[in-house]
Amino acid sequence: MQIRPGDNDLLLIIDVQNDFCPGGALAVADGDAVVPVINRLAERFAHVVLTQDWHPQGHSSFATSHPGSAPFETISMPYGRQTLWPDHCVQGSTGAAFHPRLETKRAELVIRKGFRPEIDSYSAFYENDRRTPTGLAGYLRERGLRRVFLVGLATDYCVYYSAVDAGRLGFDAVLIEAGCRAIDLAGSLATAWAGMAAEGVQRVNDLG
């Protein structure tokens, strides 16, 4: 199947940052392999938006902020269950920077998320309370952008939550698998695929 992105379509590039690539603090296996794929895809879109995971030091999603806890454990937060992560994507750090070969010049907007100390944000649209908006939905609506193609890191966290929220907010959501890689923690990737299918997120391998 060949998909031709049009004027109402957007490529949403999730968290292609050094800390999610090999050598980074929360490295996704083969994470940097998405960079040339995404650069190629982005040329076909009139509209490109980036997200950037952007935590203050001591963020509440960091295991180091919870004495006695270890990375990848799950704890209870006021807004629900939260996985604890190694310190990553600290504001202004090299780890928080976009991968040096990611082509960012054509991006219209960079949405930073996870900057509130007390709450994590996987989705490009809402914080993890699923209520506090980032403003992206309003931006897309005002711009008349209706179909969101998603790529980036990681398939089973930030890409997954963003895709589901895009669908719930009334956008058409299409995940492009060739441009994604997963963390796959305790079945999280299977959960993500099932969750996206249930919410009507389309899944394509590439644009063809």
> Which C-beta is closer to ligand VGL: that of 43 or that of 57?
57
Instruction: Enter the tokens of residue 187.
Output: 């079945």
- Tell whether residue 149 is a contact of ligand VGL (CB under 6 A): no
> Which C-beta is closer to ligand VGL: that of 47 or that of 113?
113
- Tell whether residue 136 is a contact of ligand VGL (CB under 6 A): no
Rounded distance between C-alpha atoms, residue 9 and residue 12, angstroms: 10
* Binding test (CB under 6 A) with ligand VGL, winner from 125, 126, 157, 171: 157
The owner of tokens 């939550």 is 161
- Tell whether residue 9 is a contact of ligand VGL (CB under 6 A): no
Rounded distance between C-alpha atoms, residue 102 and residue 110, angstroms: 13
> Which C-beta is closer to Zn ion: that of 188 or that of 202?
188
Rounded distance between C-alpha atoms, residue 2 and residue 110, angstroms: 28
> Which C-beta is closer to ligand VGL: that of 5 or that of 32?
32
- Tell whether residue 45 is a contact of ligand VGL (CB under 6 A): no
Task: Please count the CA atoms within 13 angstroms of the CA of 60 that sit on its side-chain side.
Answer: 18
What is the C-alpha R_g of the chain? 16
- Tell whether residue 49 is a contact of ligand VGL (CB under 6 A): no
* 20 DSSP 8-state letter: G
DSSP element (H, E) containing 143: helix 136-143
Q: Per the residue annotation, which of 53, 89, 113, 120 is the catalytic one?
A: 113
Active site amino acids: 15, 113, 158
Residues lying near ligand VGL in the complex (CB under 6 A) are found at 15, 20, 53, 85, 153-154, 157-158
